[in-house]
Amino acid sequence: MKILVACANGSGTSLMLSMTVKKAMKTLGLKITNMHHTSISEGKSSATMYDVVFTSPTFVHLFKGAQEKGVHVIPIQNVMSEQEVIEGLKNAKLA
């Protein structure tokens, strides 16, 4: 699964969330083929190259175009919550 993690600036929050996503994927036994964390501005333009985008609920609307092309956009409130990531993947029927 190709995963993009996007936050406002593409450094702190997206890095922490990407580590949480890695843990959740391992817990679920799902394979990550490519993972990248980035800023919202870069993420909007590259989102269609990924299967899943994790981002703050505040930014979900910015990925509408990617969603229309089949990309799953999963909002995450607590970047440290492995359970929230797992629930997001399950709700998207990816786990």
| DSSP letters spanning the chain | -EEEEEESSSSHHHHHHHHHHHHHHHHHTPPPSEEEEEEHHHHHHHGGGSSEEEE-GGGGGGGHHHHHTT-EEEE-S-TT-HHHHHHHHHHTT--
pLDDT at site 10: 84
- What pLDDT sits at residue 11? 83
**pLDDT tens for each residue of the chain, 95 residues long:** 999 999 999 889 999 999 999 999 999 999 999 999 999 999 999 999 999 999 999 999 999 999 999 999 999 999 999 999 999 999 999 99
CATH number reported for the structural domain that contains residue 26 in this entry: 3.40.50.2300
Residues spanned by the domain of 59: 2-91
Domain count, the chain: 1
Q: Residue 93 has what pLDDT?
A: 96
